[in-house]
Amino acid sequence: MQLIETLPDSAMPTTRRILDLLRHGQPNETVTVKGWVRTKREQKEFSFVEVNDGSSLAGLQVVIPRDVAGYADTIKRISTGASIEVNGTLVESPAKGQRIELKAEAFQVFGEADPETYPLQKKRHSFEFLRDIAHLRARTNTLGAVFRVRNAASAAIHQFFQERGFLWVHTPIISASDCEGAGEMFTVTGFDLNQPALTEDKKRVDFSQDFFGKQAFLSVSGQLEAEIMAMAFSNVYTFGPTFRAENSNTSRHLAEFWMVEPEMAFCDLLGDMELAEAFLKHIFRSVLETCPEDMEFFNQRIEPSVLATASNIIDNEFARVTYTEAIALLEKADKTFEFPVKWGVDLQSEHERYLAEDLFKKPTIVTDYPAQIKAFYMRLNDDEKTVAAMDVLAPKIGEIIGGSQREERLDVLENRIQQVGLDPAPYWWYLDLRRYGTVPHAGFGLGFERLVQFMTGMSNIRDVIPFPRAPQEIEF
């Protein structure tokens, strides 16, 4: 993709992004940069100021000679965190590790940052501490790199699907369906919670009198609606926020997270697995291409396996095993698991990690899970015991993608709904899709933050989304 790295700026036509200057800037070019100061060193004849504008991990070294107009007054006001503008000329840098630097001819301060109180000083801060100052943490090296990778991965996702003719569909955030209890839900209500309308016996809230006329929730998944759209456009995907009232404080769960859910008509489980694999490979390749410095940084400073993992994904075919084979492999493992394995149990993350990390040492797709541990909409296999489900397990993370071929046969689907004890009435429209022009179809869901965690090696999911929502966490 061709990057346009210069922002249009009619007032100041020569303002350049620092990424652009570091990559393409030439000696003798006259430029203006604007950004935030990372460090300042005052010396006898010059001051050295490192400026970062968020476009790249590396900042631009600015050299400000003492004879620049207003030097004495302005340099005093500059400290870590201050916002400044510098006009000057690019020169070759004598310093190691940088090709060019900017020799200032004029400079000004937009806003100071009092060093007595500015919380981000030139030292390592813990990620816990940075979460408490989420309004400032995007200015740090690590979080800056995370959010650039997050952006690059988002763009790669859209590019992947758009190039293949998938329609991006916007599924609702407020929903009345619970998508088979994918997670605990947040209720959305118009009631004054001090005086909600009550049923006649006064024992329950009467949602028929609420805003939507029935109980509504923040959506836990857009899949069912994506299926509706796939039955008209063949190939679609969702990419948007989903919500789960997860009351578990883990490093892998957020209350608000982004999901990617492709859904394909005329597609079976095999096609689904192929798409999932091509999809992950594309995103990794694309992010390495767009953000090489950031990825190198993660490898050096956060998790030394980041680049190896990326090549592992790009270069290898994913391993594929059925659930039944996986259970046999786990039973043979010379390792005691906290949760014992036997056919019929759901795989715990220790099992998933053993398969992907220790045994296959690469992403592993497990297929054909027992019907009783999977959702009602997954297609029943001919053995009538397993369903056409697939999970992609990733080393270090466990499940990263969960998908399935969907049950397209009306009678089988109705049976399954009954078996799992769901009321079929609210699913009338979902069943209609099987009444009118039904086709084999399949799709999967990817937790976007889990993917970003996986790419960057960041251990806590709260540090890969700008403003994490989790129990007791909503300040920003």
Residues contributing to the site for ligand ATP (CB under 6 A): 182-183, 244, 246, 252-254, 257, 259, 399-400, 402, 445, 447, 449-450
* Of residues 112 and 256, the one with the C-beta less far from ligand ATP: 256
The minimum distance between CB 222 and ligand ATP, in angstroms, equals 11
Show Cβ contacts of residue 165 under 8 Å, excluding neighbours closer than 6 positions: 235
Least separation in angstroms between residue 257's CB and ligand ATP is: 4
Strand partners, 322: 367
Q: Which is nearer to ligand ATP, 63 or 400 (CB)?
A: 400
Q: Shortest distance, CB of residue 308 to ligand ATP, whole angstroms?
A: 22
Between the CA of residue 417 and those of 338, 352, 404, what are the distances in Å?
33, 28, 17
Nearer residue to ligand ATP within complex by CB, 119 or 241: 241
Q: Which is nearer to ligand ATP, 79 or 453 (CB)?
A: 453
Nearer to ligand ATP, 50 or 178 (CB): 178
Q: Residue 399 Cβ, how far from ligand ATP at the closest point, in Å?
A: 5
Q: Indicate left, alpha or beta for 274 from its phi (over 0: left) and psi (-120 to 50: alpha).
A: alpha
Task: Give the DSSP letter string of 334-389.
Answer: SS--SS---TTSPPPHHHHHIIIIIIS-S-EEEEEEEGGGS-TTBPBPTTSSEEEE
* Cβ contact 81:139 at 8 Å: yes
Of 281 and 374, the one with the shorter C-beta distance to ligand ATP is 374
Nearest to 239 by CA among 442, 458, 444, 398: 444
The distance of closest approach from Cβ of residue 282 to ligand ATP in the complex, given in angstroms and rounded to an integer, is: 18
Distances (CA, A) of 291 to 54, 134, 267, 452: 13, 23, 33, 13
Q: How far apart are CA 443 and CA 366, in angstroms?
A: 15
Q: How far is the CB of 24 from ligand ATP (least distance, A)?
A: 38
Residue type, 454: F
* Nearer to ligand ATP among residue 90 and residue 259 (C-beta): 259
Q: Which C-beta is closer to ligand ATP: that of 353 or that of 450?
A: 450
Beta partners for 85? 34, 108
The identity of residue 312, as a single letter, is: N
- Beta carbon nearer to ligand ATP, 22 or 400: 400
- 78 C-beta neighbours (distance < 10 Å), count: 22
Question: Measured between alpha carbons, how far is 320 from 391 in angstroms, rounded to an integer?
Answer: 10
Question: How many other CB atoms sit within 10 Å of the CB of residue 241?
Answer: 14
In this complex, which beta carbon is closest to ligand ATP, that of residue 246 or of residue 432?
246
For 59, phi then psi, to 5°, come to -95, 180
CA angle, 314 then 300 then 401, to 5°: 35
Rounded-to-integer distance, Cα 282 and Cα 406, Å: 25
| Cα four-point dihedral sign 169, 454, 469, 179 | positive
Give yes or no for a contact between 452 and 153, defined as CB atoms under 8 angstroms apart.
yes
Return the number of the residue (102 or 387) whose C-beta is nearest ligand ATP: 387
Q: How far is the CB of 349 from ligand ATP (least distance, A)?
A: 8
**Which string of b and e fits 333-345 if b means at least 16 CB within 10 Å?**
eeeeeeeebeeee
Distance CA 104, CA 65 (A): 7
CB of 296 to ligand ATP, least distance (A): 26
Q: How many residues does the chain have?
A: 476
Amino acid identity, residue 389?
A
